[in-house]
Each structure stands twice: as structure tokens, then as C-alpha cells.
């Protein structure tokens, strides 16, 4: 090295020393100046398995705590039409051959049916009604189909030879088509599938219906027969539009549907129905809604121009304006009234049913919007598994975390006092710890929760579960802390602190405790996983958080059934998988922390 380079190196070294620059050190020098915390972090980061577990756990925490703020959980929600729907997002997946030449479309509870210009019939979505019944079992030799309608668990079709076909669930004879009676009345102009009932409207205004007439209030009087131009079905009733433009109720009971508004006694051009309401469209474009209005079905928005035709879903309506645009109102839980930009013009026909909507434009192209499906499926009450999984994870993790905090605080205090003071204090505290640890945990927690929990509100019950888990799980940590404090209290720094007159409480919690904190962290991490499993066990057994509020434990309660296990695997696989992954990650992190704090443990 030249003299000039040596001078430059000296200046750099001097500059570094003056202004805090760090000089490179050998591995032995670096190890001597590295703090214990940095050593622990370095050892932990070198464990790829533990780091991966941390990342997965962080993602799960973010998913349940952040996701729950975006996913609304309605504890009173139940939807019979969406029960036990399998995972998937194919409810709006219109077959490619149908997308540009459809003539008739209809959405059922979990499936949709369509017919193209050549008379071919297509089914998509979740077509399996049961293990033996599938909507894909389309009747053969139907000819050229011109109209289709999908109901709750069956479908009906009309071909160009005036023949009516039904398929799907026929348990209540909703597919037993009265072929001879229909043939005697001429041409069929409309077919309709509802909840366990089917309807056929004839050209002469005569209405035929078959299926479950006990559940559906259908009782058409002889005065009305022969005057009907169009029919519409709610979930349990039938209304009709007469040739002279008036709306009539085609039932015999006094229900909310029977009270047809006076404004619909004349001048009506179209009718539609949702699951619990009916609507009539007047010549001036005004829409009048009546029935059991619960989901804003009666709040008709202002439109440019006027509405010329109507269609109804489960809890919403869709209207077509004279300008060729679509308007929708009512419930929007699944985006069924959130219109795509493609339906703002050029639309000629609209179809709606349950939670899916379809529209045909001038070129015959199909536009769809609404419920695409459920990522993790639904449960026996039609509730979204993913939403309940997120909110259930938040509840389970919160209970586990707070229980660990309670048990850790108690364990630290008891262990420190017993280890430092010894004697009678140690004897008393350790006997108490032995009594707590000798209790059969789950039976005791179940008994206590059952006796006290029944008289508490839901929030108080959740708080009680946290306290029970925390109060009954501190004994192991207390013994561990006691052993560590016993070894630390004889150290020189404790003797020095006593000599300086430091208070005993300060010696215990400010001087001794920081030296055993690493052991506490490891134990608390592993206890967190145990608390998650214990809470899930209590909820699974019915003594934890009560339904309908979800936790991962009580979500598994419904899977304690051979029918669910065999047929609806998604209802127990996803909660069990989430709980398993969370517990495994926490245990892996705890093992990684133990190895990082005590590298010699790898040799054992």
C-alpha cells in the first residue's frame, strides 16, 4: 500500500472514531459486545421454521381482526334457501355456449337454468340438491325449449310443442305435471317454479298449479280462472295480473299479500314478487310494493324515464326502463342491487331470482350480477362459513390472549413472592398452587360456567370464560418462576441491592424479574396455544361462548353429526384447520424462542 493510501486509511479511521462510525470487528469481538437480546433475536431469526410460523400467525391475526371490521356479522341471520351450499364462486358462471344466444334465464336457490336460441338447456352453480338428486339430471328429449324457470329445489321448462317438463326434487309432487289437463286448455304462455310448487299459465287465462299446496296459499276461485295474463310467486303465495290490468290475490287466506292496494285495481302492466313482498307496475312507470316489507323492497329509487318491466329476487327487485337501462332496489347483502356498468344501456330483458340477476342486451349477450357463491360454503342455517370463521377467530384469539395475560400476571406475582421470601410465604403459596393444579380443569370449568354463566349476559359470560381460563392456569408458571427466582436471589447483584437499601418489592420486580423474563415469554407463548384449545373445547362442549356468536370451538359443535361429517365436510374442515394451524404456529414459535434463549436445548 502506498503512503498516500495509508494516510487516507488513517483519516477514515480517525473520522470513524470521532463521529461514531463502526469499525469492522472479528466474530469473537462482535460476540463480546453483542447484547443478550440481539443474540436471542439472531438465534430466533436463523430458525426458518419459527420465522415462518410467525408470518403465518401474523397473517391470521390480521385476517381475523382486520377482516372482521369489513365482514358484517348478523347474529340473527338465517336463510333457508342457502343451507349447506358447498364452497365455490360459480353461481354466476354462465356457460360459454349460452353467453351470446340466450332466450330465457332463471335463478334458483343455489343454481341457475338457461335456454339458448336452439332450445338447449343449461344448468350451473351448485346443482346438487342431495346425494341422489341433481339439477344436472335434465330430462331427455325435451325438444326445443323456449322458457325455463328455477325454483327452490326443482326447475320447469316449456318447449315449442307446448309441452311442460319438470326435474329436480319431486318429494311433494312439484314435478308431477298435469299433462292431460294442460293439453285440454291450449297453449302455455308462462311456467313458474317456486318453493315446492309449480305453476303453468294458459293462453286462455287459466292457471294450473301442483306441488305443496299446504305450505303455499294457492286457491284460485272460478271467477278468477280464465282472466289471468301473468302470475308471480312469493315464497308461499301466488298473485295474478288480469287481462284488464288489475292485480288479484290467488289465495284463500287473509295475509299481507291479500291486501292489494287500491291503486293496482286498474292500469297495471306488469307484476313481480320477492320472497315476502309483491309489486305492481302501473302504466306511468310507478311501482307499488306491498306485503311483508323487511329489506327496503318498498323504497323504489328515482329513475330517468320510466320502468317498463319488473323482476323479483329473494329480497330485491330489478326494473327495466324505457331507455334500456336497469334499476334495482332492496336488500344488497350479496351485491344483488349493485349494478355493473354493462347494464346501463341496450338491455331488452331482465331475469331475477333469489340472489342472482341476469340481463339480455340487444345482441343476445348475457350480463350477470349478484351472489357469486361462498368461498368456504355455508352451514345448516345458510350462514357464510368464511364470515363466521373470521369473527370466530377474533373471539377465540381474544379470549385466549386475555386469559394468558391473567394467568401470566398471577403466575409472576405468586412465583416471585414465593421464590424470594421463601419460608411460610413459599409454603402457603405453593400449597395454593398445588390445589389449583390438582383440580380437573375442564370439568371444573364446565361446572363453574354452567352454574354461574346461566345468570349472566352474553358479554359477562365471555368475560367469565376469560377469567376462568386465566385463574385456573397459572400454577405451572408460578412454580417455574419460583425456581428461577430461587436461583437468582443468591446472586451478587441482589446482595448489592439489599446493601444499598433498595426496597424488597423493587428487588423482586425490577432486578430479579427482568433476569427471568425470557422464560416467562416462552411459557406464556405456549400457554396461549393451550388457552385456545381449552376455549375451543369448552365452546365445543357447549359451556363456552354461546351460539349464535361464533368461535372456532362452537363452529365445530355442529359437525358432531354423522350427516354433516359425511355430506358437508366444509362445515368442520375449515374451523378445525384454522384452529390447528394457529395452535401449531404458536407452539412452533414457543419452541423457537426456547431454543433462541437457551441454545443448549438443541443438544438435548
What is the rounded distance in angstroms from the CA atom of residue 292 to the CA atom of residue 274? 10
pLDDT of 85: 92
Give the torsion through C-alpha atoms of 465, 470, 472, 478, to 10 deg.
180
Rounded CA separation 411/416 (Å): 8
Cell numbers standing for residue 319 = 326494473
Query: Domains, the chain, ranges and CATH?
Result: 45-69+384-603 (1.10.3720.10)
The pLDDT assigned to 12 comes to 46
Taking the complete model, does pTM exceed 0.75, yes or no? yes
Cell numbers at 336, concatenated: 344483488
Stretches in the chain below the pLDDT threshold 70: 1-37, 449-450, 452-455, 541-542, 598-604
β-bridge mates for residue 300, sequence order = none
Contact 61, 54 (CB under 8 A): no
Q: Provide the phi-psi class of 589: left if phi over 0, else alpha when psi is between -120 and 50, else beta.
A: alpha
C-alpha pair distances (Å), 262 with each of 269, 289, 501, 579? 15, 12, 93, 58
Report the pLDDT value the prediction gives residue 18, as an integer from 0 to 100: 45
In degrees rounded to 5, what are phi and psi of residue 316? -150, 165
Q: What is the pLDDT of residue 467?
A: 83
Q: Considering only CA atoms, which of 183, 194, 235, 188 is closest in space to residue 207?
A: 188
In terms of Cα–Cα distance, which of 331, 318, 315, 330 is closest to 358? 318
Report the candidate in 116, 201, 114, 219 with the shortest Cα–Cα distance to residue 164.
Answer: 201
Q: How many C-beta atoms surround the C-beta of residue 570 within 10 A?
A: 21
Cβ atoms of residues 414 and 407 within 8 Å = no
Q: Which residue, 91, 96, 581, is CA-closest to 357?
A: 91
DSSP letter for each residue of 42-110? HHHHT-HHHHHHHHHHHHHHHHHHHHHHHS---TT---GGGTTPPSBS-TT---GGGTTSEEEEEE-SS
How confident is the model over 221-233, as pLDDT tens digits? 889 999 999 999 9
Q: What is the pLDDT of residue 1?
A: 56
356-361 and 366-370 strand pairing: antiparallel
Amino acid at each position: 500500500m502506498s503512503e498516500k493510501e495509508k494516510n487516507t486509511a488513517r483519516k477514515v479511521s480517525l473520522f470513524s472514531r470521532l463521529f461514531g462510525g463502526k469499525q469492522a470487528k472479528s466474530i469473537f469481538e462482535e460476540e463480546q459486545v453483542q447484547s443478550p437480546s440481539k443474540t436471542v433475536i439472531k438465534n430466533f431469526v436463523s430458525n426458518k421454521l419459527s420465522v415462518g410460523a410467525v408470518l403465518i400467525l401474523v397473517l391470521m391475526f390480521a385476517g381475523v381482526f382486520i377482516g372482521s371490521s369489513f365482514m358484517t356479522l348478523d347474529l340473527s341471520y338465517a336463510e333457508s334457501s342457502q343451507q349447506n351450499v358447498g364452497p365455490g364462486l360459480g353461481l354466476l358462471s354462465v356457460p360459454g355456449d349460452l353467453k351470446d344466444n340466450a332466450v330465457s334465464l332463471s335463478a334458483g336457490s343455489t343454481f341457475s337454468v338457461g335456454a339458448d336460441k336452439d332450445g338447449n338447456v343449461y344448468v350451473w352453480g351448485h346443482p346438487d340438491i342431495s346425494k341422489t338428486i341433481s339439477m344436472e339430471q335434465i330430462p331427455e328429449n325435451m325438444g326445443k325449449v323456449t322458457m325455463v324457470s328455477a325454483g327452490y329445489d326443482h326447475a320447469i321448462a316449456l318447449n315449442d310443442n307446448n309441452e311442460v317438463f319438470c326435474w329436480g326434487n319431486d318429494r311433494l309432487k312439484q314435478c308431477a305435471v298435469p299433462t292431460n289437463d294442460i293439453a285440454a286448455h291450449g297453449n302455455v304462455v308462462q311456467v313458474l317454479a317456486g318453493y315446492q310448487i309449480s305453476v303453468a299459465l294458459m293462453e286462455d287465462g287459466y292457471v294450473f298449479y301442483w306441488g305443496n299446496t299446504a305450505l303455499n296459499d294457492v286457491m284460485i276461485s272460478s271467477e278468477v280462472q280464465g282472466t289471468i295474463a301473468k302470475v308471480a310467486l312469493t315464497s308461499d303465495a301466488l298473485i295474478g295480473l288480469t287481462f284488464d290490468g288489475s292485480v288479484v290475490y290467488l289465495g284463500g287466506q287473509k295475509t299481507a299479500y291479500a291486501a292489494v292496494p287500491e291503486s293496482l285495481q286498474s292500469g297495471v302492466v306488469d307484476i313481480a314478487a320477492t320472497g315476502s313482498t309483491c309489486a305492481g307496475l302501473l302504466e306511468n312507470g310507478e311501482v307499488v310494493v306491498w306485503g311483508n316489507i323487511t329489506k327496503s323492497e318498498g323504497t323504489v329509487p328515482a329513475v330517468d324515464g320510466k320502468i317498463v318491466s319488473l323482476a323479483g329476487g329473494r329480497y330485491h327487485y330489478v326494473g327495466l326502463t324505457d331507455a334500456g337501462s336497469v334499476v334495482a332496489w332492496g336488500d344488497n347483502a350479496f351485491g344483488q342491487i349493485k349494478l355493473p356498468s354493462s347494464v346501463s344501456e341496450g338491455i331488452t330483458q331482465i331475469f331475477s331470482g333469489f340472489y342472482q340477476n341476469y340481463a339480455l342486451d340487444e345482441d343476445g349477450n348475457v350480463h350477470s350480477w349478484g351472489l357469486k357463491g361462498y368461498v368456504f360454503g355455508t352451514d345448516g342455517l345458510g350462514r357464510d362459513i368464511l364470515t363466521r370463521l373470521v369473527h370466530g377467530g377474533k373471539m377465540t384469539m381474544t379470549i385466549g390472549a386475555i386469559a394468558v395475560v391473567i394467568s401470566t400476571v398471577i403466575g409472576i406475582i405468586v412465583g416471585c413472592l414465593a421464590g424470594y421470601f421463601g419460608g411460610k410465604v413459599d409454603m402457603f403459596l405453593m400449597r395454593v398452587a398445588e390445589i389449583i393444579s390438582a383440580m380437573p380443569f375442564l370439568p371444573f370449568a364446565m361446572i363453574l360456567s354452567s352454574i354461574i354463566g346461566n345468570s349472566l349476559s352474553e358479554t359477562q359470560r365471555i368475560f367469565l370464560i376469560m377469567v376462568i381460563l386465566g385463574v385456573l392456569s397459572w400454577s405451572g408458571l408460578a412454580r417455574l418462576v419460583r425456581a428461577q427466582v430461587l436461583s437468582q436471589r443468591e446472586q451478587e447483584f441482589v446482595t448489592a441491592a439489599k446493601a444499598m437499601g433498595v426496597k424488597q418489592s423493587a428487588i423482586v420486580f425490577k432486578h430479579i424479574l427482568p433476569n427471568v423474563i425470557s422464560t416467562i415469554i416462552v411459557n406464556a407463548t405456549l400457554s396461549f396455544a393451550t388457552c385456545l384449545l381449552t376455549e375451543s373445547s369448552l365452546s365445543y362442549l357447549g359451556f363456552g361462548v354461546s351460539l349464535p356468536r361464533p368461535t372456532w370451538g362452537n363452529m365445530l359443535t355442529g359437525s358432531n353429526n354423522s350427516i354433516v361429517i359425511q355430506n358437508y365436510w366444509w362445515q368442520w374442515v375449515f374451523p378445525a384447520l384454522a384452529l390447528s394451524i394457529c395452535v401449531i404456529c404458536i407452539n412452533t414459535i414457543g419452541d423457537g424462542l426456547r431454543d433462541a434463549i437457551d441454545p443448549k436445548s438443541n443438544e438435548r
